[in-house]
Amino acid sequence: MAEILKLAGIDKSYGTGESRTQVLFGVDLAFEEGGFNSIIGASGSGKTTLLNIIGTLDRPDRGEVWIAGTRADNLSRNQLAGLRCSTLGFIFQFHYLLPDFSAFENVMMPHLISGKGADDGARRRARELLELVGIGSQADKLVTRMSGGQQQRAAIARALMNKPRLILADEPTGNLDSDTSDTIYKLFRRINEETKTTFIIITHDRRIAERTDRIIEISDGRIRMDIKR
Amino acid sequence: MLMVAFKIARRFLSANKGQTALIVTGIAVGVAVQVFVGVLITSLQGTLIDRTIGSSSQVTVVPAGDGTAISDWQGIVDAAGKNADIKAVAPAADCSAFLIKSNRTVPILLRGFNLDDANKIYGIYGHIYKGRRPAAPDEVLTGRELNKELGIAAGDKIELFTSNGSRFNMTVVGLYDLKVASLNKQWVLTTLGTSQNVSGLGGNITSVEMQVKDIFKADAVASDLSRALGRSDVKVLNWKDQNAELLSGLQGQSVSSYMIQVFVLASVIIAIASVLAIKVLQKSREIGILKAMGIKDRSAGQIFVYQGLMLGAGGALLGILLAVFLLAGFAMGARNPDGSSLIDIRFDYIFITGSGLVATISAALASAIPARTTTRMSPIEVIRNG
């Protein structure tokens, strides 16, 4: 399988002078296309920083980030925005949906941002994705009127809208009960198998991590363990 | 991308209806004040000009130097007739005299015109409140104040006594009211022939009075006419030179009106800029999310420009409606004791539309400042701070 993502010698620090704290130390990682991966680590281990760098939301101080064959760490802000829109899908712990919009409108948003009009094909796909995540009947509800589980499902549907090659999920079930977490995990798995979309899931839930194909453990900004099954 | 920015802007506004309504009302009040003041001052000036300069001679040809009469005046009338900026021409023969009625003697100015011509300047026919127009050589019109003072009624006989000692018997065939007390008291109107006969001018006249199409160009029209005439025995006067104080009063009024409008507009712009700056902060989380999804900096900024544009356009439209409503109320409420309107409100549609457009464009420009703030926003801040 081809590599969808490669990190080489990533360093990242925050703060300046005496308060400067290095969060990542020379991280090297590569992910194959279609993989179902998890990154685990304690709070403050640097896993979210790593995910933000992978997602081009943050820049490394040193090292290279390659996404789908494009070197991302030296692209301009607008080029990065374009890359995120076309290649990456984000799922966050706090879903980060737009509160003034319905679930359907939130799912349509990445398509509209990509500069394509709201054509029938896109509308149909958005409805299908909402069906896929199990909230088809709630499509036209304002997201603020949905439950936490429903909101997270809407966020997953949104992440899938532009058919991204890589989905980055940061504690996607961190805010959900165990039944809903299980359903979300199964949903990820199904999407991974059906669409061959690569998943990188950050979690501190070992039960979720153990069900992925590869577990990477990060501790104090370094990769401590990398198990493939 | 334009569409998505517009859609998001529209939703940001419609999702906070109370806040949006408040901002639109704020802009509307500003625009309403601007339009109301602008229209009121313009109307006030228009009314003032109409009631002073509007019903009088704006360009006048009089004898130059010590001359008292103009001969060969038909050439002047012809030259004025050829000037496209002049809309009415009336040769006049004036003569000071004393009016004698019932043993009382009052100084008057006998003014002789071709009455049809003079009507175009003074609207004489419309101001005759009793009787008819003079037709025969010994017929005159007298004004309301003079009539009251001397108890003149239509059909009365009067006597005119000129400075060279001649006496003429006249019949008052009509009574006029030009709405200016001093004129009503002084002027006795008659035909050109009668006045020429009484004053001993023969075929000569004392002035040629004119009205121009654009009264603020009266000075330019006067110098054009002077050049066209090329005569040294006459000089061409214009109302602007003769009424410098009125003119400076009108200009002062215009300047203060502009100042008020500029300050109101400035406060509208500052209000929009500050409201949108707060909106950017309120929506920083959403902007961060949109940026994480890949919206470009430019489009993120456009969301706020569109909001400014919509708030500005909505406020301008509502403000214009409010101003029209206020002006209509003013026109109905502010009246003279006789029921005529105090000020003739003139709805200058170009000014009103222009004010609306300026407010809208200013709102869009004011939103450029908060729009720039969004470009500095980073999605990571939102992600990190929740």
Gap between the Cα atoms of A115 and A4, Å rounded: 24
> Is the predicted pLDDT of residue A123 greater than 90, yes or no?
yes
> Is the predicted pLDDT of residue A136 greater than 80, yes or no?
yes
Task: Please report residues of A whose CB lies closer than 8 A to that of B20.
Answer: none
A115 contact B CB<8A: yes
The three-point CA angle B132-B133-B136 to 5° equals: 115
Contact between A96 and B289 using a beta-carbon 8 Å cutoff? yes
Phi, psi of A117 (to 5 degrees): -70, 170
Q: Per-residue confidence of chain B (386 residues) as pLDDT tens digits?
A: 558 899 999 999 998 899 889 889 988 998 898 889 888 888 888 888 777 777 788 999 999 888 888 988 999 999 988 989 999 999 999 999 999 988 889 999 999 999 899 898 888 898 999 999 998 888 999 999 999 999 999 899 999 998 888 889 999 999 999 888 888 999 999 999 999 999 888 889 999 999 998 888 889 999 999 999 888 899 999 988 888 888 788 888 888 888 888 888 888 788 877 887 887 778 888 888 888 888 888 888 889 889 889 998 999 999 999 999 998 888 888 777 777 777 778 788 888 898 889 888 888 888 888 888 888 777 877 666 65
In the structure encoding, which two tokens stand for residue A37, read together? 């991966």
Strand, coil or helix: what is A57?
A: coil
Residue B113 pLDDT? 92
Gap between the Cα atoms of A29 and A50, Å rounded: 10
Gap between the Cα atoms of B152 and B142, Å rounded: 8
Nearest CA in chain A to B293: A85
CA of B269 vs chain A CAs: smallest distance (Å): 27
Partner residue facing A113 (CB), from B293, B379, B380: B293
* Sign of the torsion angle spanned by Cα atoms B3, B8, B12, B15: positive
pLDDT in tens, A178-205: 787 888 888 889 889 988 899 999 988 8
Partner residue facing B4 (CB), from A55, A78, A112: A112
Strand, coil or helix: what is A152?
A: helix
With both helix axes pointing from N to C terminus, report the angle between B297-333 and B17-51 in degrees, rounded to the nearest 10.
Answer: 50
How many CB atoms are closer than 10 A to CB A56? Answer: 25
Best CA proximity match to A62, nearest among A105, A111, A108, A8: A8
Partner residue facing B4 (CB), from A58, A83, A113: A113
Which residues fall within 8 angstroms of residue B129, CB to CB, at 6 or more apart? B144, B175, B176, B177
In percent, the amount of chain A with pLDDT more than 70 equals 100
CA of B344 vs chain A CAs: smallest distance (Å): 49
Q: Which residue has the tokens 């926003």?
A: B377
Task: Please report residues of A whose CB lies closer than 8 A to that of B301.
Answer: none
The strand ranges marked E within A33-177 are 36-40, 62-67, 70-71, 88-91, 166-170
**DSSP 8-class letter at A17:** G
Gap between the Cα atoms of B386 and B383, Å rounded: 5
A109 contact B CB<8A: yes
> Is the predicted pLDDT of residue A145 greater than 90, yes or no?
yes
The amino acid at A183: T
Residue B382 pLDDT? 67
CA of A228 vs chain B CAs: smallest distance (Å): 29
Gap between the Cα atoms of B130 and B140, Å rounded: 13
A75 contact B CB<8A: no
Taking the whole predicted model, whether its pTM rises above 0.90 is answered as no
A83 contact B CB<8A: yes
B11 contact A CB<8A: yes
Nearest CA in chain B to A167: B293
How many CB atoms are closer than 10 A to CB B49? Answer: 17
How many CB atoms are closer than 10 A to CB A181? Answer: 20
> Is the predicted pLDDT of residue A95 greater than 80, yes or no?
no
Q: Mutating which of B14, B20, B279, B289 best tests the A interface, going by the most A Cβ atoms within 10 A?
A: B289
Residue B365 pLDDT? 85
Nearest CA in chain B to A78: B296
In the structure encoding, which two tokens stand for residue A169, read together? 């999920």
In the structure encoding, which two tokens stand for residue A89, read together? 């899908």
Best CA proximity match to A66, nearest among A58, A56, A57, A77: A56
The amino acid at B370: P
CA of B217 vs chain A CAs: smallest distance (Å): 56
Phi, psi of B2 (to 5 degrees): -60, -45
Contact between A98 and B286 using a beta-carbon 8 Å cutoff? yes
CA of B294 vs chain A CAs: smallest distance (Å): 4
B290 contact A CB<8A: yes
Partner residue facing B293 (CB), from A58, A78, A85: A85
The amino acid at B191: T
Nearest CA in chain A to B7: A112
Give how far the C-alpha of residue B132 lies from the chain's centroid of Cα atoms, to the nearest Å.
32
Gap between the Cα atoms of B186 and B17, Å rounded: 66
CA of A81 vs chain B CAs: smallest distance (Å): 4
**DSSP 8-class letter at B205:** B
Helix runs in chain B, H state only: 2-15, 17-51, 74-82, 115-122, 124-127, 144-150, 181-186, 192-199, 218-229, 239-242, 244-282, 284-292, 297-333, 349-366, 368-376, 379-385
In the structure encoding, which two tokens stand for residue A1, read together? 């399988």
